[in-house]
Structure 1
Amino acid sequence: MNDRSQMNKFSLWLLAWPIFIEVFLQTLLGTVDTLMVSRISDDAVAVVGFSNQLFNALTTLFITIAGGAGILIAQKLGSKRSEEARTIAIIAVKVSGMIGLALSVLLYLEPHFIARLLNLPERLLPLSDTYISIAGGGMVLTALMAALSTVIRNTGNTRGPMYTAVGINIVHVLLNYAFIFGAFGFPQWGLTGVSISTLVSRLLAVILLFYMFIHSFERKVGIADIRLKDRKLFKEVLRIGWPLGVNMSCWVFSQLAIYTFLAVLGTKELAARTYMNTLESFCFMLGYAFALAVQIQIAHLYGAKRTKEAYQSAYKALGIGLIVVSFNALLLFLLGKQLLGLFTDDKEIVAMGISLLALNFLLQPGKMLNMALGNALNAVGDTRYMMIISIVSMGIVATGCSYVLGIHLGWGLIGIYCCMIADEYVRGILILFRWKERKYLRKVEDGSPVNHLDAPRGGVRLEV
């Protein structure tokens, strides 16, 4: 592949639009999935929602590996070191699979203990035993999906994971329909059927992604490569990846704490925030797609030592993202009453939601600032800085101040939402100043290696 076609492959729009379609359809079909599960019972929805929060928290364990590997793969491809990129990809998939397998065994064998440990209500325990043991038993498939999708996406092929995600989500919804309503000659298996549907769709996804993975590099990946090791490259992955995992954990636990505060305020406040969370996801997903795309693009440019282009790419993605999310926030505000009416007839909840939609004008630009420039810092390997400011801001501003304003001072839902907005801007402004420093970019311009573990290598050292 010549340099021109390689760079076209890593252009912002070509990377972004498949990511957007993938995220949009996953969100849309996820909403449909939730509505279908609600036909079983409200308890079933509660169990699925609770279990998915648990699964999301556990995914941070292998996202650490997949996230760090993805950034390094794009960097290595940019610096024409495709063999190292290939080695990193194989190691990432292998290690992620091993972590996922350990989690699968734990969730399959001890669903009751885990549910009790997390204080799930007694009446939900029988349903949770079923769902956590079956769907959670497939965490190895989730780990492989995350690793394979990340690896493939960071080679510049964002269409492959998009097609796979669309296909398996359609299969999942169809199987849910069959197992919940007894369609197509299937029995009505209820929540057990939903669990099986989840496993089958994930298995199909892994098979498709493995096929793409095998052909993602100049040299085809073979069975013998499973024995491939390289301690130095794995240290690079961990150096970038573990702060990503901590960063994601901060967000997961801060959101969990905020939902706990909302539960203290009452069910209506909790419901209003839940509905807003769904609407917001549609609001910022196109901006999120550009943020993911620019991370891949900047990592590739950084590896190629094209630092000026890498620096400007972040601002280009930020500018486009700000226009998009601001327009979406306006549209959401104008249609807010009608959209909230699709979820609830409670006038008090709708009124709360509309007031939050007004504040959403402030939230979305801050969130976009974080996503675009935060991913830019991740792309050049500055993940520890991101981790530190996330720990401080999410811990003090998002979580601590939410309790003080929302609960202690009695500002309620509005107070908590204002603290969430403040957290986005505190982190966003700190990230903006960090990116303007060009710290990692200047190191490359001064002749330093792309990352501190890089050194002249006559080839990829393999330990077999």
Structure 2
Amino acid sequence: MAYSLLKSYLNVEEAKEIRKSLLVMALPAIGENVLQMLLGISDTAFLGHYDWRIMTAVGTANQVVFIFQAVLVAISTGSMVLISNSYGAGNRQRVNLIAWHAIYLSVITGLVLSFGSLFSQNLLSLFFPSSDSFMQLNGSNYLRIIMAGFPAMSIMIVLGATLRGVGDTRSPLIVALAANGLNVLLDYAMIFGKFGFPEMGAVGAAFATVISRVVGSIIIIILLFRNGRISISKKPQRFSKWLIKEIFVLGLPASVENFGFSFGVLVFANILFIAGPQAYAAHRIGIQVESLSFMPAWGMGVAVTALVGIYNGGKRRRLSIGVVRQGWFIALGISSIIGMAITLFPDLFISIFTNEATLIEEGRLPVRIIGLFQVVMGTDYAVTGGLRGMGDTAFPMKASLVAMWLIRLPLGYVLVRYLDLGLFGAWIGMMADMAFRTTLKFIRFYSGKWESTADSIQARSN
């Protein structure tokens, strides 16, 4: 059966109620993700005014972190989809069981990933020229500390997704607000040597981030146990191999997508180094502007995933489709406004991260391109949220990997290497990737080929 986002499946009152529910869930999610991103962006912004070379090194180090973070995406995505469908089906015992397994997996995975800190220098050496020892040193020092703090990051990411699965987007917002406020204060103090702290540069930025995440992880554990929708038991549940398998079966495609995308971004960085280190620095600034710009669309995607899952678990397919359509409309409206602001005032956004005139000049065009593509990004997040809420996590993975490795990287390489278009050429490849993957997901949703997966998830949730 075909499902068109241009067709209304709801009456006026249903559409109004769903829009209200989406906004209630999305606004805290948007605020949370803005603050979560600021944990990394504040590092970039402060370091951009401290030394643009250190900012570049830290930006690359964070891309390495994103690769390792792929396994957390598997756990958080699988937990969120399962818990939303079970909550929608009214199966509180299963909700409680999933929540406990989210705790187990977040702690175990965080501890395992923290051992990657032993290899930080080797990891960074893959992405910087051997002659650039300054960037290697600062990047590896930053990466070592960040990876040692993986347990706290793991707890925040996985338990945040668990809470969002039952529609509680406010608790993760509270956690992000506390952690981010502390991070900004510590960043300023530890990077520049203020309030009695020594001047530590990249190392200070890393310590500030890890300390903030430790505080955030403590708060989110407390909020999880106090959450009335989950009603998690004080007594730990028995470890279930079949539930672990179910979480990873659903979450693994999202994890592979994240890994393939993050690794592709690092390969893309090497393409940009062909154009020179300043071109790459301008690219990093453009990426930071992009990360701020897509927050509303990302938040709407989270809300769509949760609400679609809840309705699917409750056997209300028509309302699930209506959620995707309404979420898409809202995302388009917000993305259009943000895109217009970025396109008209690129320097305003770039100046958040640097005061270097050459970087502002070089970053102006790609930032304007970001503004023009906001509508595409809004569509991508809304449709991806709908597919994931139905349990179809595999197709977004395939679309993302095909677009990255067959569109962005080859096209970007040709335009930079052979046509000498520099940063502009690389970004043409990146935008072509975004347009292609969004088109594929849109067609997938229309085709209805996700129905069997949605039916299977629905049956297991009751």
TM > 0.5 fold call: yes
Letter in 2 for 1:336: P
CA gap of 1:351–1:170, structure 2 versus 1, over 3 A, is closer
CA gap of 1:239–1:10, structure 2 versus 1, over 3 A, is farther
Deviation, structure 1 residue 152? 1.3
CA gap of 1:209–1:296, structure 2 versus 1, over 3 A, is same
State which of 151, 168, 176 in structure 1 corresponds to 2:162. Answer: 151
State which of 90, 96, 103 in structure 1 corresponds to 2:100. Answer: 90
State which of 416, 419, 422 in structure 1 corresponds to 2:432. Answer: 422
Q: Is 2:206 aligned against 1:178?
A: no
State the match for 1:450 in structure 2. Answer: 457
State which of 327, 337, 360 in structure 2 corresponds to 1:327. Answer: 337
Partner SS for 2:264: helix
Structure 1 spans left out of the alignment, 5+ residues: 457-464
- Please give the alpha-carbon distance, in whole angstroms, between the structure 1 residues aligned to 2:301 and 2:286: 22
State the match for 2:4 in structure 1. Answer: none
- Please give the alpha-carbon distance, in whole angstroms, between the structure 2 residues aligned to 1:126 and 1:354: 29
For 1:338-349, list aligned pairs within 5 A.
338-340=348-350, 343-344=354-355, 346=357
Contact 2:342/2:371 (CA < 8 Å) preserved in 1?
no
Question: 1:391-450, CA deviations, whole angstroms, 9 ceiling, x for partnerless residues?
Answer: 222110111222223323444433332222222222212211211222334776xxx543
Question: 1:322-361, CA deviations, whole angstroms, 9 ceiling, x for partnerless residues?
Answer: 12112211111221245446635546x5555443345335
CA gap of 1:114–1:361, structure 2 versus 1, over 3 A, is closer
Letter in 1 for 2:150: M
State which of 253, 258, 277 in structure 1 corresponds to 2:263. Answer: 253
- Please give the alpha-carbon distance, in whole angstroms, between the structure 2 residues aligned to 1:19 and 1:455: 25
The size of the alignment, in residue pairs, is 443
- Please give the alpha-carbon distance, in whole angstroms, between the structure 1 residues aligned to 2:135 and 2:418: 31
State the match for 2:84 in structure 1. Answer: 74
CA gap of 1:185–1:265, structure 2 versus 1, over 3 A, is closer
Larger Rg: 1
Deviation, structure 1 residue 367? 1.7
CA gap of 1:47–1:281, structure 2 versus 1, over 3 A, is closer
TM value normalised by structure 2: 0.86
- Please give the alpha-carbon distance, in whole angstroms, between the structure 2 residues aligned to 1:93 and 1:144: 7
CA gap of 1:443–1:400, structure 2 versus 1, over 3 A, is closer
Deviation, structure 1 residue 150? 1.0
Question: 1:160-195, CA deviations, whole angstroms, 9 ceiling, x for partnerless residues?
Answer: 110110111111222233334444444555544443
State which of 208, 221, 226 in structure 1 corresponds to 2:233. Answer: 221
State the match for 1:135 in structure 2. Answer: 146
Letter in 2 for 1:203: V
State which of 310, 313, 318 in structure 2 corresponds to 1:300. Answer: 310
CA gap of 1:430–1:195, structure 2 versus 1, over 3 A, is closer
- Please give the alpha-carbon distance, in whole angstroms, between the structure 1 residues aligned to 2:191 and 2:453: 57
State the match for 2:391 in structure 1. Answer: 381
State the match for 1:50 in structure 2. Answer: 60
Partner SS for 1:381: coil
Question: 1:356-381, CA deviations, whole angstroms, 9 ceiling, x for partnerless residues?
Answer: 34533542222222111012111111
State which of 54, 57, 63 in structure 1 corresponds to 2:73. Answer: 63
Contact 1:40/1:191 (CA < 8 Å) preserved in 2?
no
State the match for 2:445 in structure 1. Answer: 435
Highest RCO, 1 vs 2 (Cα 8 Å, sep ≥ 6): 2
Deviation, structure 1 residue 38? 5.0
CA gap of 1:338–1:60, structure 2 versus 1, over 3 A, is closer
- Please give the alpha-carbon distance, in whole angstroms, between the structure 1 residues aligned to 2:191 and 2:357: 28
State the match for 1:462 in structure 2. Answer: none
Question: 1:77-108, CA deviations, whole angstroms, 9 ceiling, x for partnerless residues?
Answer: 0111121122122112212321210121341x
Contact 1:9/1:15 (CA < 8 Å) preserved in 2?
no
Contact 2:18/2:326 (CA < 8 Å) preserved in 1?
no
Partner SS for 1:450: helix
- Please give the alpha-carbon distance, in whole angstroms, between the structure 1 residues aligned to 2:230 and 2:367: 49
Deviation, structure 1 residue 303? 0.9
Identity %, equivalent residues: 25
CA gap of 1:178–1:242, structure 2 versus 1, over 3 A, is same
State the match for 1:201 in structure 2. Answer: 212
Contact 1:10/1:296 (CA < 8 Å) preserved in 2?
no
- Please give the alpha-carbon distance, in whole angstroms, between the structure 2 residues aligned to 1:185 and 1:345: 28
Contact 2:98/2:243 (CA < 8 Å) preserved in 1?
yes
- Please give the alpha-carbon distance, in whole angstroms, between the structure 1 residues aligned to 2:436 and 2:266: 20
- Please give the alpha-carbon distance, in whole angstroms, between the structure 1 residues aligned to 2:104 and 2:302: 24
CA gap of 1:322–1:423, structure 2 versus 1, over 3 A, is same
- Please give the alpha-carbon distance, in whole angstroms, between the structure 2 residues aligned to 1:353 and 1:190: 24
Contact 1:333/1:354 (CA < 8 Å) preserved in 2?
no
Contact 2:18/2:323 (CA < 8 Å) preserved in 1?
no
Q: Is 2:322 aligned against 1:312?
A: yes
Q: Is 2:249 aligned against 1:242?
A: no
State the match for 2:10 in structure 1. Answer: none
CA gap of 1:93–1:25, structure 2 versus 1, over 3 A, is same
- Please give the alpha-carbon distance, in whole angstroms, between the structure 2 residues aligned to 1:432 and 1:70: 22
CA gap of 1:186–1:412, structure 2 versus 1, over 3 A, is closer
Deviation, structure 1 residue 72? 0.9
